[in-house]
Structure 1
Amino acid sequence: MAIEFLQAFPDLDVLVVPIGGGGLISGIAVAAKHIKPDIKILGVQTEAYPAMKAALEGREIHPTKVTIAEGIAVKKPGQITREVVRQLVDDILIVKESMIEDAIDALMEIEKVVVEGAGAAGLAAVLQFPDLFRGKKVGLPLCGGNIDPRTLSFCVMRGMVRDGRISRLKVTTLDLPGALARVTAIVGKVGGNIAEVYHQRQFATAPVKYTEIELVVETKDRMHGERLVKALEDAGLEVTDTSGAMAMRG
Structure 2
Amino acid sequence: MNKIDPVSASDEQRDVLPVTLADIRAAHGRISGAIVRTPTVISQTLSKLTGATVYLKFENHQFTAAYKERGALNRLLLLDPVSRAKGVIAASAGNHAQGLAYHGARLGVPVTIVMPNTTPLVKVMQTEGHGATVVLHGEKFEDAYAHARTLEAERGLTFVHPFDEADIIAGQGTVALEMLEDAPGIDTLVVPIGGGGLFSGMGTAARGMKPDIELIGVQAELYPSMYDVIKQATLPCDGDTLAEGIAVKEPGTLTRQFVGALANDIVLVTERALEQAVSLLLQIEKTVVEGAGAAGLAALLEHKAMFVGKTVGLVLCGGNIDTRLLANVLLRDLARSGRLARLRIRLQDRPGALYHVARIFHEQQVNIIEVYHQRVFTSLPAKGLITDIECETRDEAHLQRLMTALAEDGYEASLVELA
* TM-score over 0.5 (shorter chain): yes
Farther-moved stretch of structure 1 (183-192 vs 202-211): 202-211
Structure 1 residues 229 and 62: alpha-carbon distance in aligned structure 2, compared to 1, 3 A threshold: closer
RMSD: 1.7
TM superposition outliers: structure 1 runs of 4+ over 6 Å: none
Q: Distance in 2 between matches of 1:94 and 1:42?
A: 11
1:240 corresponds to: 414
Is 1:229 aligned with 2:397?
no
Q: Please state how far the C-alpha of 1:61 moved relative to its aligned partner.
A: 6.8
Q: Please state how far the C-alpha of 1:127 moved relative to its aligned partner.
A: 1.1
Q: Please state how far the C-alpha of 1:59 moved relative to its aligned partner.
A: 5.3
Alpha carbons 2:224, 2:236 under 8 Å: kept: no
List aligned pairs for 1:137-156, cutoff 5 A.
137-156=311-330
Is 1:174 aligned with 2:355?
no
Query: What does the per-residue CA deviation read over 1:177-217, in whole Å, with 9 as the maximum and x for residues that have no partner?
Result: 11111111211221211111012222333333333221011
1:188 corresponds to: 362
Query: What does the per-residue CA deviation read over 1:33-53, in whole Å, with 9 as the maximum and x for residues that have no partner?
Result: 121122111000011211111
Farther-moved stretch of structure 1 (60-69 vs 117-126): 60-69
Is 1:53 aligned with 2:198?
no
2:61 corresponds to: none
Give the gaps of 5 or more residues in structure 2.
1-174
Amino acid corresponding to residue 266 of structure 2 in structure 1: I
Q: Percent identity?
A: 47
Query: What does the per-residue CA deviation read over 1:223-247, in whole Å, with 9 as the maximum and x for residues that have no partner?
Result: 1111111111111211111226xxx
Alpha carbons 1:43, 1:89 under 8 Å: kept: yes
Alpha carbons 1:62, 1:75 under 8 Å: kept: no
Structure 1 residues 60 and 174: alpha-carbon distance in aligned structure 2, compared to 1, 3 A threshold: closer
Is 1:79 aligned with 2:290?
no
List aligned pairs for 1:86-165, cutoff 5 A.
86-165=260-339
Farther-moved stretch of structure 1 (61-70 vs 149-158): 61-70
Q: Distance in 2 between matches of 1:213 and 1:75?
A: 43
Farther-moved stretch of structure 1 (56-65 vs 23-32): 56-65
When normalised by structure 1's length, the TM-score is: 0.92
2:386 corresponds to: 212
Q: Distance in 1 between matches of 2:406 and 2:297?
A: 38
Is 1:63 aligned with 2:204?
no
Amino acid corresponding to residue 328 of structure 2 in structure 1: F
Is 1:5 aligned with 2:155?
no
Q: Distance in 1 between matches of 2:230 and 2:368?
A: 51
When normalised by structure 2's length, the TM-score is: 0.56
Q: Distance in 2 between matches of 1:168 and 1:62?
A: 33
SS at match of 1:81: helix
Alpha carbons 2:222, 2:236 under 8 Å: kept: no
Q: Distance in 2 between matches of 1:87 and 1:120?
A: 25
SS at match of 1:119: helix
Alpha carbons 2:367, 2:391 under 8 Å: kept: yes
Farther-moved stretch of structure 1 (181-190 vs 5-14): 5-14
Alpha carbons 1:198, 1:213 under 8 Å: kept: yes
Equivalent pairs, count: 245
Give the gaps of 5 or more residues in structure 1.
none
SS at match of 1:138: strand
